[in-house]
Amino acid sequence: MASPKGVALALLLSLLSSVLASSSSRDPAGLLERAKESELSDWMVGIRRRIHENPELGYEEFKTSEIIRRELDDMGIAYKHPIAVTGVAGFVGTGRPPFVALRADMDALAMQESVEWEHKSKVPGKMHACGHDAHVAMLLGAAKLLQEYRDELQGTVVLLFQPAEERGSGAKKMIEAGAVENVDAIFGFHVTPEFPVGVVASRPGPILAGSGFFEAVISGKGGHGALPQETIDPILAASNVVVSLQHLVSRETDPMDSQVVTVAKFQGGTAFNVIPDSVTLGGTFRSLSNRGFSQLKQRIEEVIVAQASVQRCNATTDFMNKEHPFLPATVNSKDLHEHFQKVAGEMLGSNNVIEKQPVTGGDDFAFFSEAVPRAYYYFLGMKNDSGGPHHPAHSPYFTINEEALSYGAALHASLAVRYLSENRSPSTSNANLHYEL
Residues annotated within a binding site for Mn(2+): 130, 132, 166, 190, 394
211: β partners = 286, 327
CB 205 within 8 A of CB 290: no
Dihedral sign (CA 81, 165, 371, 188): positive
CB 60 within 8 A of CB 145: no
317: β partners = 216
**Rounded Cα gap, residues 78 and 69, in angstroms:** 9
How many C-beta neighbours within 10 Å does residue 196 have?
15
CB 354 within 8 A of CB 383: no
User: What are φ and ψ of residue 409, in 5° steps?
Assistant: -65, -45
**Rounded Cα gap, residues 437 and 434, in angstroms:** 9
- Alpha helix ranges (H) inside 54-199: 62-75, 132-148, 170-176
Interhelix angle for 132-148 vs 38-53, to 10°?
150
Pairing mode, strands 87-93 and 78-83:
antiparallel
Report the 3 state secondary structure along 260-289. EEEEEEEECCCCCCEECCEEEEEEEEEECC
Q: What share of the chain is helix, strand, coil (3-state, %, to 5)?
A: 40, 25, 35
CA dist 44 → 22, 37, 40, 137 (Å): 24, 11, 6, 5
265: β partners = 282
Report the 3 state secondary structure along 58-79. CCCCHHHHHHHHHHHHHHCCEE
CB 431 within 8 A of CB 74: no
Give every CB contact of residue 343 below 8 A, 6+ residues apart in sequence.
28, 411, 414, 415, 418
H or E element in which residue 219 lies: strand 210-219
Task: List, as residue ranges, the binding site.
Answer: 130, 132, 166, 190, 394
CB 161 within 8 A of CB 87: yes
